[in-house]
Amino acid sequence: MKNIPGNYYKKHKSANPVVKYLMKNFHDTLFEMIHFVSPVSMLDVGCGEGYSLKQLKDKYPELNIEATDVEQEIIEIARRETPDINFKVESAYAIDRPGGSYDLVTALEVLEHLEYPDKAIAEAKRLTKRYCIFSVPFEPYWRILNILRLKYISDLGNTPGHINHWGRDDFRKLLSKHFKNVKIRTVFPWNFALCFDL
């Protein structure tokens, strides 16, 4: 799997006040969901450069966090950002851990990039004892926002690397194939899902 240009827009370090506001809402929602499930151990799949994990580790220093991404170069950046997290280069489809290894497995802004999202969801479910949290762009609003900021016009606002597009109901249907309970929370322009079988 190649790194597709556009996948790693520096939204986490943007000085744009609108982007900063949206990212604060993103992280506040993530932290609330994690606080609600109170995990001791967590795996983040498709961690990117680890900017969200750095904030998470600062907020919950006792949380045992591991993380994976498919790109060696990206993992090296993540290790520099947060050296006290164990990072490994692994595919979202095949993670070398026993089943039920973590209280929580997350995949944030990952599924929209994957050719086989169901396979990655099944792998996340295999690895969790209790909960999974997923987030994806809320379509079509994500693309509309791109068009409004005059980005990716020739692709109708589609961010490079996004090969899957879900609205709220479609996202719920995708996850309900794997989990008995799917709780969707919309934090514009994303949809978050807390998933479990308890």
pLDDT at residue 5 is higher than 60:
no
Helix (H) or strand (E) holding 69: strand 64-69
According to the model, what pLDDT value does residue 14 have? 64
| Residue of 131, 129, 109 lying closest to 53 (CA atoms) | 109
According to the model, what pLDDT value does residue 13 have? 62
Q: Tell me the one-letter amino acid at 92.
A: A
How far apart are the C-alpha atoms of 2 and 91, rounded to whole Å?
12
> Could you report the per-residue pLDDT of 26-42, keeping only the tens digit for each?
999 999 999 999 999 99
Q: Mean of the pLDDT values across residues 174-181?
A: 98
Question: What is the pTM for the complete model shown?
Answer: 0.92
Collapsing DSSP to helix, strand or coil, 4 comes out as: coil
pLDDT at residue 56 is higher than 50:
yes
Q: How far apart are the first and last CA of the chain?
A: 34
% of the chain at pLDDT higher than 70: 92
How far apart are the C-alpha atoms of 114 and 100, rounded to whole Å?
23
- Range scoring the smallest mean pLDDT among 2-6, 58-62, 89-93: 2-6
According to the model, what pLDDT value does residue 6 have? 41
Question: What average pLDDT is seen over the chain?
Answer: 92
> Could you report the per-residue pLDDT of 78-134, keeping only the tens digit for each?
999 899 999 999 999 999 999 999 999 999 999 999 999 999 999 999 999 999 999
Confidence of residue 7 (pLDDT cuts 50, 70, 90): very low
% of the chain at pLDDT higher than 90: 88
> Could you report the per-residue pLDDT of 127-153, keeping only the tens digit for each?
999 999 999 999 999 999 999 989 999
pLDDT at residue 2 is higher than 50:
no
Architecture of domain 13-196: 3-Layer(aba) Sandwich (3.40)
Local structure of residue 92 (DSSP, 8 states) = T
